[in-house]
């Protein structure tokens, strides 16, 4: 238990930030998972349709500090490459 007012406030802030960050991270993972499912199913139209919103969500999470910018660049690069490979093979 915190002994000072400032540390009590810190605990409240951390709980609030934790729930927001968890929600944002979940949103990111869900979006990436849906795009990867479309890629795995070799559905070119759906993959193309999901790519831009997924990249947008990834960029937003960088701005919120949920993921590092290099991690975001790696995700975007790999996902774009996989979508591009589906377009070439189809």
CATH number at residue 27: 1.20.58.110
Rounded CA gap, 19 and 73, in Å?
A: 25
* Tally of domains in the chain: 1
Q: Please give the residue range of the domain that contains residue 45.
A: 5-89
pLDDT digits (tens, 9 = 90+) for 3-22: 999 999 999 999 999 999 99
What three-state secondary structure class fits 72?
A: helix
Residue 28 sits at the vertex; the CA angle it makes with 26 and 31, to the nearest 5 degrees, is 105
pLDDT digits (tens, 9 = 90+) for 31-79: 999 999 999 998 899 999 999 999 999 999 999 999 999 999 999 999 9
């Amino acid at each position: 238990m915190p002994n000072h007012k400032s540390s009590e406030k810190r605990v409240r802030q951390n709980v609030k930030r934790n729930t927001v960050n968890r929600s944002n991270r979940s949103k990111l993972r869900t979006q990436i998972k849906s795009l990867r499912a479309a890629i795995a199913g070799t559905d070119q139209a759906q993959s193309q349709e999901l790519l831009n919103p997924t990249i947008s969500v990834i960029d937003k999470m960088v701005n919120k500090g949920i993921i590092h910018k290099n991690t975001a660049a790696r995700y975007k690069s790999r996902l774009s490459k996989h979508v591009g490979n589906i377009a070439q093979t189809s």
